[in-house]
Structure 1
Amino acid sequence: MALSVDDDEVRARLLALRADALERAVGLGAAKSDLVEAAWGANIDDEHDPEGQTIAFERAQVDALAADVRRRLAEVDAALDRLAAGTYGTCVVGGEPIDPARLLARPTATTCVAHAPR
């Protein structure tokens, strides 16, 4: 493995990121439920409500945040898979080691800085 840090340390960090993402997902699920419940009692024509954001807009925001959490979970799970396979810390493009400082900043990184998308 290219990374010079302890596998257990990396795993613990990734699992903490995963737990945080799951906690956010639960919170977003509750927020969406609250919005759906609010919509039942709201004016059907909330698109023209002069008092602010529409329920539809708020639901779209929650949906976008939930999609981000699902993406984050997928990245963390993929990093955990790479760790188990012994390829964590190796650039998927060029095969060279990913700088440990990059992995500290972005634990789910799959590429070295030279191959990172710009």
Structure 2
Amino acid sequence: MRVPDLWNPQLTKMLGDLNRQFGSDVFIAVNADRMHMDIVMNPGSYGFVTSKIACCGQGPYNGIGLCTIFSNVCSNRDAYVFWDAYHPTERANRIIVSHFMTGSSEYMYPMNLSTILKLDAQNQY
């Protein structure tokens, strides 16, 4: 079992307890790991060609080291989930951020940022 699989449910429970204690949804849990893994495991459903090869790097799958002047560089970074061995591409990061804004409770609990902003706007004087 992966650490986030143990950590995230406990974090969500703790934040729910804190929100009940304060009587308001002050704390929000973000499951960025799940967002990221959904893209990695199903790249085609997000419009990517692959999540197994980085756009820029060295060695097998461009998975060794960071992007340098000695790296192999892909021709279309929007087709790749990973920029280098460690970092998502800009397009993958934009998808993750869109989940922060409008994602379901499987990614954001108890609500996403759009809901928070809407509630905050309603409470303005």
Relative to the length of structure 2, the TM-score reads 0.30
Relative to the length of structure 1, the TM-score reads 0.31
Higher relative contact order structure (alpha carbons within 8 Å, sequence separation ≥ 6): 1
The structure with more radius of gyration: 1
